[in-house]
Amino acid sequence: MGFELKRNGIYQHVLDLKENERRCVSRGVVPVTLNRTWWWLSGGRGLGTVAGTGVGAWPWGGRFLSSTLQRDRRWGWGTWGGGLSRGASGRLSELRPWIATGGGPGGGGSSELDKGGRVRCSRRLWMLLGTLVLVFLTSLFFSMSLRGGVGLNYLEPPSWEESRRVKLVPNYVGAHRLSSPDLPQQKTCACLRCVGDPGVSEWFDENYDPDISPVWTRDNIELPSDVYYWWVMLQPQFKPHSIQQVLLRLFQVIPGRSPYGSWDPGRCLRCAVVGNSGNLRGAGYGASIDGHNYVMRINLAPTVGFEEDAGSHTTHQFMYPESAKNLAANVSFVLVPFKTLDLVWITSALSTGQIRFTYAPVKQFLRVDKDKVQIFNPAFFKYIHDHWTKHHGRYPSTGMLVLFFALHVCDEVNVFGFGADSRGNWHHYWEQNRYSGEFRKTGVHDADYEAQIIQRLAKAGKITVFPGK
Protein backbone atom coordinates (compact mmCIF):
# COMPACT_ATOMS: atom_id res chain seq x y z
CA MET A 1 0.00 0.00 0.00
CA GLY A 2 2.83 2.39 0.93
CA PHE A 3 4.64 1.45 -2.24
CA GLU A 4 1.56 2.26 -4.32
CA LEU A 5 1.17 5.68 -2.65
CA LYS A 6 4.78 6.47 -3.24
CA ARG A 7 4.48 5.41 -6.84
CA ASN A 8 1.32 7.45 -7.36
CA GLY A 9 3.08 10.49 -5.91
CA ILE A 10 5.95 10.06 -8.32
CA TYR A 11 3.51 9.74 -11.20
CA GLN A 12 1.80 12.99 -10.14
CA HIS A 13 5.19 14.75 -10.12
CA VAL A 14 5.90 13.45 -13.60
CA LEU A 15 2.59 14.80 -14.85
CA ASP A 16 3.45 18.17 -13.36
CA LEU A 17 6.85 17.96 -15.02
CA LYS A 18 5.24 17.33 -18.40
CA GLU A 19 2.95 20.32 -18.00
CA ASN A 20 5.78 22.69 -17.13
CA GLU A 21 7.96 21.30 -19.90
CA ARG A 22 5.20 22.23 -22.33
CA ARG A 23 5.28 25.74 -20.95
CA CYS A 24 9.08 25.84 -21.42
CA VAL A 25 8.76 24.82 -25.03
CA SER A 26 6.16 27.50 -25.68
CA ARG A 27 8.68 30.02 -24.29
CA GLY A 28 11.52 28.74 -26.57
CA VAL A 29 13.36 26.66 -23.91
CA VAL A 30 14.92 23.39 -25.16
CA PRO A 31 13.44 20.34 -23.37
CA VAL A 32 15.57 17.88 -21.43
CA THR A 33 15.48 14.08 -21.55
CA LEU A 34 13.95 11.98 -18.84
CA ASN A 35 16.60 9.25 -18.54
CA ARG A 36 18.29 10.59 -15.45
CA THR A 37 15.17 12.45 -14.33
CA TRP A 38 13.31 9.20 -14.05
CA TRP A 39 16.27 7.67 -12.26
CA TRP A 40 16.49 10.52 -9.77
CA LEU A 41 12.74 10.66 -9.15
CA SER A 42 12.56 6.91 -8.61
CA GLY A 43 15.27 7.04 -5.98
CA GLY A 44 17.70 5.03 -8.04
CA ARG A 45 15.38 2.06 -8.57
CA GLY A 46 16.13 1.94 -12.28
CA LEU A 47 12.65 2.57 -13.61
CA GLY A 48 14.18 3.73 -16.94
CA THR A 49 12.44 5.63 -19.71
CA VAL A 50 9.11 4.83 -21.21
CA ALA A 51 10.86 4.47 -24.57
CA GLY A 52 13.35 1.88 -23.45
CA THR A 53 17.15 1.72 -23.39
CA GLY A 54 19.14 3.74 -26.00
CA VAL A 55 16.15 5.81 -27.10
CA GLY A 56 15.34 9.26 -25.80
CA ALA A 57 11.93 10.16 -24.51
CA TRP A 58 10.29 13.55 -24.57
CA PRO A 59 8.51 14.53 -21.34
CA TRP A 60 5.20 14.67 -23.19
CA GLY A 61 5.65 11.25 -24.79
CA GLY A 62 7.13 10.02 -28.10
CA ARG A 63 10.74 9.21 -28.98
CA PHE A 64 13.81 10.74 -30.51
CA LEU A 65 16.65 8.73 -31.99
CA SER A 66 20.00 7.96 -30.35
CA SER A 67 21.75 10.17 -32.98
CA THR A 68 19.82 13.10 -31.52
CA LEU A 69 20.95 12.00 -28.10
CA GLN A 70 24.56 11.93 -29.27
CA ARG A 71 24.25 15.47 -30.65
CA ASP A 72 22.62 16.65 -27.44
CA ARG A 73 25.32 15.01 -25.37
CA ARG A 74 28.07 16.56 -27.47
CA TRP A 75 26.67 20.05 -27.01
CA GLY A 76 25.54 19.52 -23.42
CA TRP A 77 21.85 19.72 -24.23
CA GLY A 78 20.71 16.44 -22.67
CA THR A 79 21.76 13.30 -20.81
CA TRP A 80 21.55 9.59 -21.30
CA GLY A 81 23.24 6.31 -20.62
CA GLY A 82 26.22 7.07 -18.43
CA GLY A 83 26.68 10.14 -16.22
CA LEU A 84 25.16 13.54 -16.28
CA SER A 85 26.46 16.22 -18.56
CA ARG A 86 26.98 19.76 -17.38
CA GLY A 87 23.77 20.89 -19.10
CA ALA A 88 21.76 18.06 -17.57
CA SER A 89 23.07 18.56 -14.04
CA GLY A 90 22.25 22.25 -14.31
CA ARG A 91 18.75 21.44 -15.41
CA LEU A 92 18.21 18.98 -12.58
CA SER A 93 19.32 21.54 -10.04
CA GLU A 94 16.76 23.90 -11.53
CA LEU A 95 14.07 21.24 -11.51
CA ARG A 96 14.51 20.22 -7.82
CA PRO A 97 12.90 23.31 -6.24
CA TRP A 98 10.20 23.28 -8.91
CA ILE A 99 9.34 19.62 -8.18
CA ALA A 100 9.50 20.17 -4.42
CA THR A 101 6.98 22.99 -4.60
CA GLY A 102 4.59 21.08 -6.76
CA GLY A 103 5.54 22.92 -10.01
CA GLY A 104 2.60 25.26 -9.97
CA PRO A 105 2.12 27.47 -12.98
CA GLY A 106 2.91 30.61 -11.06
CA GLY A 107 5.65 29.18 -8.84
CA GLY A 108 9.18 30.49 -8.52
CA GLY A 109 10.59 27.35 -10.16
CA SER A 110 9.03 28.30 -13.46
CA SER A 111 10.66 31.77 -13.49
CA GLU A 112 14.02 30.30 -12.59
CA LEU A 113 13.63 27.75 -15.38
CA ASP A 114 12.79 30.51 -17.87
CA LYS A 115 15.87 32.46 -16.78
CA GLY A 116 18.12 29.43 -17.08
CA GLY A 117 16.70 28.57 -20.50
CA ARG A 118 17.40 32.08 -21.77
CA VAL A 119 20.97 31.90 -20.48
CA ARG A 120 21.52 28.56 -22.17
CA CYS A 121 20.02 29.79 -25.47
CA SER A 122 22.19 32.90 -25.37
CA ARG A 123 25.28 30.80 -24.65
CA ARG A 124 24.54 28.46 -27.55
CA LEU A 125 23.95 31.39 -29.91
CA TRP A 126 27.31 32.93 -29.03
CA MET A 127 29.00 29.55 -29.42
CA LEU A 128 27.47 29.18 -32.88
CA LEU A 129 28.51 32.70 -33.96
CA GLY A 130 32.01 32.17 -32.61
CA THR A 131 32.31 28.93 -34.55
CA LEU A 132 31.22 30.62 -37.79
CA VAL A 133 33.74 33.44 -37.30
CA LEU A 134 36.48 30.90 -36.60
CA VAL A 135 35.63 28.96 -39.78
CA PHE A 136 35.63 32.16 -41.84
CA LEU A 137 39.00 33.32 -40.48
CA THR A 138 40.50 29.88 -41.04
CA SER A 139 39.38 29.79 -44.68
CA LEU A 140 40.61 33.36 -45.20
CA PHE A 141 44.08 32.65 -43.85
CA PHE A 142 44.23 29.41 -45.82
CA SER A 143 43.44 31.20 -49.09
CA MET A 144 46.02 33.88 -48.27
CA SER A 145 48.66 31.23 -47.70
CA LEU A 146 47.87 29.67 -51.11
CA ARG A 147 48.09 33.01 -52.92
CA GLY A 148 51.14 34.17 -51.06
CA GLY A 149 49.41 37.09 -49.42
CA VAL A 150 46.74 39.62 -50.22
CA GLY A 151 47.56 41.89 -53.14
CA LEU A 152 45.83 45.16 -53.93
CA ASN A 153 46.63 45.30 -57.61
CA TYR A 154 45.04 48.68 -58.18
CA LEU A 155 47.48 50.25 -55.69
CA GLU A 156 50.60 48.63 -57.13
CA PRO A 157 52.69 50.19 -59.93
CA PRO A 158 53.05 48.23 -63.20
CA SER A 159 55.32 45.27 -62.73
CA TRP A 160 58.49 44.68 -64.71
CA GLU A 161 56.75 41.91 -66.65
CA GLU A 162 53.93 44.23 -67.74
CA SER A 163 56.28 46.95 -68.97
CA ARG A 164 58.37 44.32 -70.69
CA ARG A 165 55.29 42.90 -72.40
CA VAL A 166 54.60 46.29 -73.97
CA LYS A 167 58.12 46.32 -75.40
CA LEU A 168 57.73 42.85 -76.86
CA VAL A 169 54.59 43.85 -78.79
CA PRO A 170 55.47 47.27 -80.19
CA ASN A 171 52.84 47.17 -82.91
CA TYR A 172 49.96 46.98 -80.43
CA VAL A 173 47.75 50.00 -80.99
CA GLY A 174 47.17 50.74 -77.31
CA ALA A 175 50.71 50.00 -76.12
CA HIS A 176 51.52 53.67 -75.50
CA ARG A 177 48.61 53.92 -73.06
CA LEU A 178 50.08 51.16 -70.90
CA SER A 179 53.58 52.59 -70.64
CA SER A 180 54.61 55.25 -68.17
CA PRO A 181 54.95 58.78 -69.55
CA ASP A 182 58.35 59.03 -67.87
CA LEU A 183 59.75 56.16 -69.95
CA PRO A 184 61.53 56.98 -73.23
CA GLN A 185 59.50 56.50 -76.41
CA GLN A 186 59.78 52.96 -77.74
CA LYS A 187 61.13 52.51 -81.27
CA THR A 188 59.69 49.84 -83.54
CA CYS A 189 62.41 50.15 -86.17
CA ALA A 190 65.87 51.56 -86.76
CA CYS A 191 64.69 54.39 -89.03
CA LEU A 192 64.65 58.01 -87.95
CA ARG A 193 60.84 57.96 -87.92
CA CYS A 194 58.90 54.68 -87.81
CA VAL A 195 55.32 54.05 -88.89
CA GLY A 196 54.70 51.68 -85.98
CA ASP A 197 55.87 53.99 -83.18
CA PRO A 198 52.89 54.50 -80.85
CA GLY A 199 52.01 57.72 -79.08
CA VAL A 200 52.99 60.03 -81.93
CA SER A 201 49.44 60.69 -83.13
CA GLU A 202 46.29 59.82 -81.22
CA TRP A 203 44.22 60.03 -84.40
CA PHE A 204 46.52 57.56 -86.16
CA ASP A 205 46.65 55.15 -83.21
CA GLU A 206 42.84 55.09 -82.93
CA ASN A 207 42.38 54.12 -86.60
CA TYR A 208 45.46 52.01 -87.25
CA ASP A 209 44.97 48.24 -86.91
CA PRO A 210 48.26 46.32 -87.18
CA ASP A 211 46.54 42.95 -86.79
CA ILE A 212 44.73 42.97 -90.12
CA SER A 213 46.79 41.53 -92.96
CA PRO A 214 46.88 43.40 -96.29
CA VAL A 215 47.49 40.09 -98.11
CA TRP A 216 44.80 37.44 -98.69
CA THR A 217 46.34 34.10 -97.72
CA ARG A 218 45.45 30.53 -96.78
CA ASP A 219 45.35 31.61 -93.13
CA ASN A 220 42.65 34.27 -93.63
CA ILE A 221 40.85 32.65 -96.52
CA GLU A 222 37.41 33.13 -94.95
CA LEU A 223 35.94 36.61 -95.13
CA PRO A 224 33.52 37.99 -92.52
CA SER A 225 30.03 38.15 -93.94
CA ASP A 226 29.86 41.96 -93.85
CA VAL A 227 33.18 42.18 -95.74
CA TYR A 228 32.09 39.64 -98.35
CA TYR A 229 28.75 41.34 -99.14
CA TRP A 230 30.38 44.77 -99.30
CA TRP A 231 33.11 43.50 -101.59
CA VAL A 232 30.87 41.63 -104.09
CA MET A 233 28.67 44.74 -104.37
CA LEU A 234 31.57 46.86 -105.64
CA GLN A 235 30.78 45.51 -109.10
CA PRO A 236 27.37 43.87 -108.61
CA GLN A 237 26.80 43.13 -112.29
CA PHE A 238 29.04 40.08 -111.99
CA LYS A 239 27.63 36.90 -110.50
CA PRO A 240 29.78 35.84 -107.52
CA HIS A 241 31.47 32.46 -107.65
CA SER A 242 32.02 30.13 -104.72
CA ILE A 243 34.81 32.01 -103.02
CA GLN A 244 36.21 29.01 -101.15
CA GLN A 245 36.57 26.84 -104.25
CA VAL A 246 38.04 29.69 -106.30
CA LEU A 247 40.69 30.47 -103.68
CA LEU A 248 41.60 26.83 -103.15
CA ARG A 249 42.26 26.48 -106.88
CA LEU A 250 44.20 29.76 -106.91
CA PHE A 251 46.40 28.74 -103.96
CA GLN A 252 47.40 25.66 -105.93
CA VAL A 253 48.99 28.01 -108.45
CA ILE A 254 50.46 30.72 -106.17
CA PRO A 255 51.99 30.35 -102.67
CA GLY A 256 49.05 31.89 -100.77
CA ARG A 257 51.14 33.23 -97.89
CA SER A 258 52.33 36.64 -96.74
CA PRO A 259 56.04 37.42 -97.11
CA TYR A 260 55.89 40.22 -94.53
CA GLY A 261 56.85 39.95 -90.90
CA SER A 262 56.25 42.02 -87.79
CA TRP A 263 58.09 45.08 -86.56
CA ASP A 264 61.82 44.65 -85.97
CA PRO A 265 63.62 47.28 -83.85
CA GLY A 266 66.86 46.50 -85.68
CA ARG A 267 65.39 46.95 -89.17
CA CYS A 268 64.75 50.00 -91.31
CA LEU A 269 62.57 49.00 -94.27
CA ARG A 270 62.12 52.08 -96.44
CA CYS A 271 59.30 52.14 -98.98
CA ALA A 272 58.51 54.51 -101.84
CA VAL A 273 54.87 54.70 -102.93
CA VAL A 274 54.97 56.13 -106.44
CA GLY A 275 51.74 57.52 -107.81
CA ASN A 276 51.04 58.49 -111.39
CA SER A 277 50.52 62.24 -110.99
CA GLY A 278 51.84 64.65 -113.56
CA ASN A 279 53.72 66.46 -110.76
CA LEU A 280 56.51 63.87 -111.16
CA ARG A 281 57.51 65.24 -114.53
CA GLY A 282 60.55 67.43 -114.16
CA ALA A 283 60.82 66.76 -110.40
CA GLY A 284 64.03 64.73 -110.65
CA TYR A 285 63.07 62.22 -107.96
CA GLY A 286 64.35 59.18 -109.88
CA ALA A 287 67.50 58.52 -107.84
CA SER A 288 65.71 59.10 -104.53
CA ILE A 289 62.92 56.66 -105.48
CA ASP A 290 65.36 53.94 -106.54
CA GLY A 291 67.16 54.21 -103.19
CA HIS A 292 64.28 52.58 -101.28
CA ASN A 293 64.02 48.92 -100.32
CA TYR A 294 60.51 48.63 -101.77
CA VAL A 295 59.28 50.69 -104.70
CA MET A 296 55.52 50.30 -105.17
CA ARG A 297 53.87 51.38 -108.41
CA ILE A 298 50.28 51.47 -109.61
CA ASN A 299 48.61 50.01 -112.70
CA LEU A 300 50.30 50.68 -116.06
CA ALA A 301 52.84 53.24 -114.80
CA PRO A 302 55.88 53.11 -117.13
CA THR A 303 59.48 53.75 -116.10
CA VAL A 304 61.29 53.55 -119.44
CA GLY A 305 61.93 57.08 -120.62
CA PHE A 306 61.01 58.56 -117.22
CA GLU A 307 63.89 57.23 -115.12
CA GLU A 308 65.15 60.65 -114.09
CA ASP A 309 61.82 61.72 -112.61
CA ALA A 310 60.09 58.44 -111.71
CA GLY A 311 63.04 56.09 -111.23
CA SER A 312 63.63 52.68 -112.80
CA HIS A 313 63.45 50.29 -109.84
CA THR A 314 60.19 48.43 -109.08
CA THR A 315 59.49 45.77 -106.44
CA HIS A 316 55.66 45.81 -106.31
CA GLN A 317 53.14 46.47 -109.08
CA PHE A 318 49.51 46.86 -107.97
CA MET A 319 47.04 46.08 -110.76
CA TYR A 320 43.55 44.75 -111.47
CA PRO A 321 42.80 42.47 -114.44
CA GLU A 322 41.85 45.24 -116.86
CA SER A 323 45.14 47.10 -116.18
CA ALA A 324 47.51 44.12 -115.90
CA LYS A 325 50.78 43.84 -117.81
CA ASN A 326 53.74 41.48 -117.88
CA LEU A 327 56.37 42.05 -115.22
CA ALA A 328 60.02 41.26 -114.68
CA ALA A 329 60.91 38.18 -112.65
CA ASN A 330 61.97 40.17 -109.57
CA VAL A 331 58.71 42.15 -109.31
CA SER A 332 55.76 41.16 -107.13
CA PHE A 333 52.40 41.31 -108.87
CA VAL A 334 49.77 42.40 -106.32
CA LEU A 335 46.28 41.79 -107.68
CA VAL A 336 43.60 44.18 -106.42
CA PRO A 337 40.37 42.17 -106.91
CA PHE A 338 36.98 43.87 -107.19
CA LYS A 339 34.97 40.69 -107.86
CA THR A 340 35.33 36.92 -107.68
CA LEU A 341 35.79 36.84 -111.47
CA ASP A 342 39.14 38.59 -110.96
CA LEU A 343 40.32 35.61 -108.89
CA VAL A 344 39.14 33.23 -111.60
CA TRP A 345 41.01 35.31 -114.17
CA ILE A 346 44.37 35.31 -112.36
CA THR A 347 44.12 31.53 -111.92
CA SER A 348 43.39 31.19 -115.63
CA ALA A 349 46.04 33.70 -116.74
CA LEU A 350 48.71 31.75 -114.84
CA SER A 351 47.57 28.35 -116.10
CA THR A 352 44.99 27.52 -118.78
CA GLY A 353 44.27 30.95 -120.32
CA GLN A 354 40.51 30.37 -120.61
CA ILE A 355 39.35 33.89 -119.70
CA ARG A 356 39.89 36.69 -122.20
CA PHE A 357 37.17 39.15 -121.23
CA THR A 358 35.56 40.55 -118.07
CA TYR A 359 33.90 43.91 -118.75
CA ALA A 360 36.86 44.70 -121.01
CA PRO A 361 39.51 42.65 -122.80
CA VAL A 362 42.08 41.14 -120.40
CA LYS A 363 45.35 39.34 -120.95
CA GLN A 364 44.80 35.67 -121.72
CA PHE A 365 48.20 34.75 -120.27
CA LEU A 366 50.26 36.76 -117.83
CA ARG A 367 54.04 36.54 -117.64
CA VAL A 368 54.89 37.17 -114.00
CA ASP A 369 56.73 35.30 -111.26
CA LYS A 370 54.07 32.99 -109.76
CA ASP A 371 55.95 32.77 -106.48
CA LYS A 372 55.69 36.56 -106.09
CA VAL A 373 51.97 36.90 -106.85
CA GLN A 374 49.99 38.35 -103.94
CA ILE A 375 46.25 39.00 -103.56
CA PHE A 376 45.03 42.21 -101.93
CA ASN A 377 42.81 41.29 -98.96
CA PRO A 378 39.17 42.51 -99.35
CA ALA A 379 38.97 42.77 -95.54
CA PHE A 380 41.90 45.21 -95.69
CA PHE A 381 40.11 47.02 -98.52
CA LYS A 382 37.04 47.55 -96.34
CA TYR A 383 39.19 48.48 -93.33
CA ILE A 384 40.58 51.43 -95.32
CA HIS A 385 37.06 52.39 -96.41
CA ASP A 386 35.75 52.27 -92.82
CA HIS A 387 38.67 53.62 -90.79
CA TRP A 388 40.43 56.06 -93.09
CA THR A 389 38.35 57.36 -96.01
CA LYS A 390 35.23 57.11 -93.81
CA HIS A 391 32.93 56.08 -96.69
CA HIS A 392 33.80 59.12 -98.80
CA GLY A 393 33.32 57.90 -102.37
CA ARG A 394 32.07 54.42 -103.25
CA TYR A 395 35.43 52.94 -102.34
CA PRO A 396 39.04 54.15 -101.96
CA SER A 397 41.23 54.74 -104.98
CA THR A 398 44.02 52.33 -105.89
CA GLY A 399 46.51 54.95 -104.75
CA MET A 400 45.03 54.93 -101.23
CA LEU A 401 45.05 51.12 -101.18
CA VAL A 402 48.75 51.05 -102.03
CA LEU A 403 49.59 53.79 -99.51
CA PHE A 404 47.99 51.93 -96.60
CA PHE A 405 49.46 48.64 -97.81
CA ALA A 406 52.86 50.27 -97.36
CA LEU A 407 51.91 51.67 -93.95
CA HIS A 408 51.30 48.10 -92.75
CA VAL A 409 54.42 46.39 -94.15
CA CYS A 410 57.08 49.13 -94.10
CA ASP A 411 58.96 51.01 -91.39
CA GLU A 412 59.32 54.28 -93.32
CA VAL A 413 56.97 55.44 -96.09
CA ASN A 414 57.74 58.19 -98.60
CA VAL A 415 55.11 59.29 -101.12
CA PHE A 416 55.79 60.51 -104.68
CA GLY A 417 53.47 61.44 -107.52
CA PHE A 418 50.25 62.02 -105.57
CA GLY A 419 47.85 64.93 -106.12
CA ALA A 420 47.59 67.56 -108.80
CA ASP A 421 50.49 69.36 -110.36
CA SER A 422 51.33 73.00 -109.64
CA ARG A 423 48.70 74.18 -112.11
CA GLY A 424 45.93 72.07 -110.54
CA ASN A 425 45.86 69.46 -113.28
CA TRP A 426 45.10 65.84 -112.43
CA HIS A 427 46.79 63.78 -115.11
CA HIS A 428 49.37 60.99 -115.55
CA TYR A 429 53.03 61.89 -115.82
CA TRP A 430 53.46 59.98 -119.08
CA GLU A 431 50.62 61.71 -120.98
CA GLN A 432 48.99 65.06 -121.52
CA ASN A 433 45.39 64.60 -120.40
CA ARG A 434 43.11 67.41 -121.52
CA TYR A 435 40.36 66.00 -119.23
CA SER A 436 42.58 66.68 -116.24
CA GLY A 437 39.81 67.12 -113.71
CA GLU A 438 37.57 64.20 -114.67
CA PHE A 439 39.05 61.88 -112.02
CA ARG A 440 37.64 64.13 -109.32
CA LYS A 441 34.14 64.20 -110.87
CA THR A 442 33.39 60.50 -111.32
CA GLY A 443 31.97 60.06 -107.79
CA VAL A 444 33.69 56.69 -107.43
CA HIS A 445 36.54 58.20 -105.41
CA ASP A 446 36.63 61.37 -103.32
CA ALA A 447 39.97 62.80 -104.38
CA ASP A 448 39.70 65.90 -102.17
CA TYR A 449 39.04 63.87 -99.02
CA GLU A 450 41.85 61.46 -99.86
CA ALA A 451 44.18 64.43 -100.27
CA GLN A 452 43.21 65.58 -96.76
CA ILE A 453 44.04 62.13 -95.37
CA ILE A 454 47.49 62.27 -97.00
CA GLN A 455 48.12 65.72 -95.53
CA ARG A 456 47.08 64.55 -92.09
CA LEU A 457 49.33 61.47 -92.27
CA ALA A 458 52.22 63.74 -93.21
CA LYS A 459 51.43 66.10 -90.33
CA ALA A 460 51.37 63.13 -87.93
CA GLY A 461 54.86 62.15 -89.09
CA LYS A 462 53.77 58.80 -90.52
CA ILE A 463 54.66 59.59 -94.13
CA THR A 464 56.77 62.11 -96.02
CA VAL A 465 55.21 63.61 -99.14
CA PHE A 466 57.39 64.80 -102.00
CA PRO A 467 55.20 67.38 -103.76
CA GLY A 468 56.83 67.39 -107.20
CA LYS A 469 56.35 70.21 -109.66
Q: What is the pLDDT of residues 322-365, one digit of tens each?
A: 999 999 999 999 999 999 999 999 999 999 999 999 999 999 99
CB 308 within 8 A of CB 456: no
Q: What is the model's pLDDT at position 240? A: 78
76 and 221 in a single domain? The answer is no
> Residue 68 carries which side chain, given as an amino acid letter?
T
- DSSP code of 56? E
Residue 133 falls inside a structural domain: no
113 and 180 in a single domain? The answer is no
Residues annotated catalytic, as ranges: 395, 445
368 and 400 in a single domain? The answer is yes
215 and 308 in a single domain? The answer is yes
Q: What is the model's pLDDT at position 355? A: 94
Q: What is the pLDDT of residues 73-114, one digit of tens each?
A: 434 444 434 444 444 444 444 444 444 444 444 444 555 545
CA distances from 78 to 54, 74, 121, 131, 234 (A): 13, 9, 14, 21, 89
Residues written for the chain: 469
CB 332 within 8 A of CB 374: yes
240 and 94 in a single domain? The answer is no
171 and 228 in a single domain? The answer is no
Q: What is the model's pLDDT at position 392? A: 93
Residue 341 falls inside a structural domain: yes
- DSSP code of 297? E
How far apart (Å, rounded) are the C-alpha atoms in residues 144 and 140? 6
H helical segments located in 169-311: 175-178, 202-207, 225-232, 243-250, 286-290, 307-310
| Whole-prediction pTM | 0.61
Q: What is the model's pLDDT at position 435? A: 57
> Residue 349 carries which side chain, given as an amino acid letter?
A
Q: Are strands 332-335 and 316-319 parallel, antiparallel or unpaired?
A: parallel
Residue 191 falls inside a structural domain: no
Q: What is the model's pLDDT at position 465? A: 96
176 and 276 in a single domain? The answer is no
Residues of the chain with pLDDT under 50: 1-7, 29-30, 32-108, 113, 146-183
Residue 132 falls inside a structural domain: no
376 and 438 in a single domain? The answer is yes
Residue 152 falls inside a structural domain: no
H helical segments located in 292-339: 307-310
Q: What is the model's pLDDT at position 150? A: 40
Residue 387 falls inside a structural domain: yes
171 and 47 in a single domain? The answer is no
Supply the range of the domain harboring residue 174.
157-185
180 and 207 in a single domain? The answer is no
- DSSP code of 415? E
Q: What is the model's pLDDT at position 449? A: 93
Q: What is the model's pLDDT at position 434? A: 53
User: Which own/partner pairs from 25-31 qualify as long-range (CB within 8 Å, at least 24 positions apart)?
Assistant: 27/114, 27/117, 28/117, 28/121, 29/113, 29/114, 29/117, 29/118, 29/120, 29/121, 30/77, 30/117, 30/120, 30/121, 31/58, 31/59
81 and 223 in a single domain? The answer is no
Q: How many domains does the chain have?
A: 3
How far apart (Å, rounded) are the C-alpha atoms in residues 163 and 158? 7
CB 166 within 8 A of CB 425: no
180 and 215 in a single domain? The answer is no
Q: What is the model's pLDDT at position 391? A: 94
Residue 195 falls inside a structural domain: no
Adjacency order of strands within the sheet including 332-335: 374-375, 332-335, 316-319, 294-298, 270-274, 412-416, 464-466
Please, which residues bridge with residue 64 across strands? 56
- DSSP code of 371? G
Q: What is the model's pLDDT at position 419? A: 84
